[in-house]
Chains A and B, each alone.
Chain A
């Protein structure tokens, strides 16, 4: 102890410090190498390109929507439905949000389970194969999911009937006024279930990567305290992966919001209804896809402006995801 105090006292008095006084007078010019300059320029250009693209899309949507905005201001009855733009768009927004939310609620627990299984539970030889199969799910084109969903819809009608019989008192499972449900099963619930399978791989593979990054030291700390495998996951893996799980689900939500083809093929669209078991409801993406081929003039502008609404929703979802990640990040050790 005494030696250390002596040295700290002796130091400033003994040694003069010319460098500290000389430095502010004339800062030496940093050497810039051409390779560095080219690389920094290239990366800057790439970064700016992203911003330009985003701004370009937003501007395009806004410009093309001008006709709808004009109609909304002068003659709202000209817009589809006859009650103005917002009356037209809000059922679509609700349909989009509800189907995505259901997909998320169904898919997330499965995705987390699969990710935990492949990273911490599965036998070492099985885990990579399983991860590979999950990634393959992501490679299936959405048209194929749509075709599969149509078959699924027919087979789900029995289950829907059962739901309507026993849980019909819950508005979302209520049959229509005649006491019937959709005979084809092509309802928003079917579309949501297919969506959940479509977003399953993205959530699974992202959370799997995050769970793999759990510091080994944290896992061993829990195990050495006598934690079982599940307790170790709860103490070390899940707290560490919290922000990653949040961002993975948000990315899944983003995919579900924008998914078009499968929903357009499965859902037989109609007016907004609370029940998920009767045909009706529509999502924004599917509305655009189904009406775009014959649309012209004001109708075309309407479709583009609901596209703008979808664009804003996904932008908000991504911003929310960012905020959640920033708030829940754990400092890794």
Chain B
């Protein structure tokens, strides 16, 4: 099911501006990797290159390689649409489709693959995905109501259900809890713990406690100053990063001291 990711010498640009400089890392399958760092350090940008969502922004480009189980997703002739079908993504703000019901939202990705599903298959998949996202018990009686009627935390879990319904190899999460209250955040963190049994999860977060709680490995990004590209400073076991990091810069950030 899940794939390993190898990032090799990745430079990321917005037009002429270089946002990220020379990132290389290896992400193991069935693990949770957290990206932390100050705002503007390029952690979300790196995340978005992993499913080729980066290039949706006009003028954006990438140099280097991202290998999923050895296949370069930036190789010649690779269709970004196929990449995105294997790499699911959850965004900072919950974005269920407002005109679709809860069930239609869950099935949206599957319907894209032009699979003709029988009604029972569709019902089963909806139930499985919603159970996988810890949302089933809360919405099972109102599957045909619009997804926009749910609370913020429920909407975010609906988006996770939508992402895992297509059974991706990798799940990317871009600050999935930044707009949620602590209870909903806890629900999502528990969910991330369950998800890593099946998927390779990469999560961007501003919350260092969250990174410490959910991730196996942590990547710390930093930026030298405005207008300079972000760099990967340290990539290590989460326990090492938060107790005894190799780099002083990491130590300073973790402990709240800068410069």
Contact = CB atoms under 8 A, between A and B. Distances in A.
B14 interface: no
B162 interface: yes
Contacts of A43: none
A86 to B, nearest CB: 43
A226 B98 contact: no
Contact of A226 (B85, B91, B97): B85
B45 interface: no
Contacts of A333: 93, 95-96, 98, 148
B41 interface: no
B159 A221 contact: yes
Interface residues on B, range: 20 to 34
Contacts of B99: 239-240, 242, 330
A224 B95 CA distance: 11
Contacts of A231: 112
Nearest to A234: B112
A220 interface: yes
B23 to A, nearest CB: 21
A26 interface: no
A227 interface: yes
Given A225-B163, A226-B112, A218 B97 contact: yes
A228 B53 contact: no
B117 interface: no
B98 A332 contact: yes
Interface string B160-195: 001100100000000000000000000000000000
A223 B97 contact: no
A44 interface: no
Question: Secondary structure of the A side of the interface?
Answer: helix
A220 B85 CA distance: 13
Contacts of B159: 221
A221 B109 CA distance: 10
B112 A224 contact: no
Interface string A277-290: 00000000000000
A270 B51 CA distance: 64
Given A220-B56, A331-B148, A225 B112 contact: yes
B166 A217 contact: no
Interface string B201-238: 00000000000000000000000000000000000000
A217 B113 CA distance: 21
B13 to A, nearest CB: 16
Given A223-B84, A225-B163, A217 B93 contact: yes
Interface of B: 51, 53, 56, 58, 81-85, 88-89, 91, 93, 95-100, 108-109, 112-113, 148, 159, 162-163, 166
Interface of A: 124, 215, 217-228, 231, 235-236, 239-240, 242, 330-333
11 contacts: A218-B97, A220-B56, A221-B91, A221-B97, A224-B88, A224-B89, A224-B163, A226-B81, A226-B83, A227-B81, A242-B99
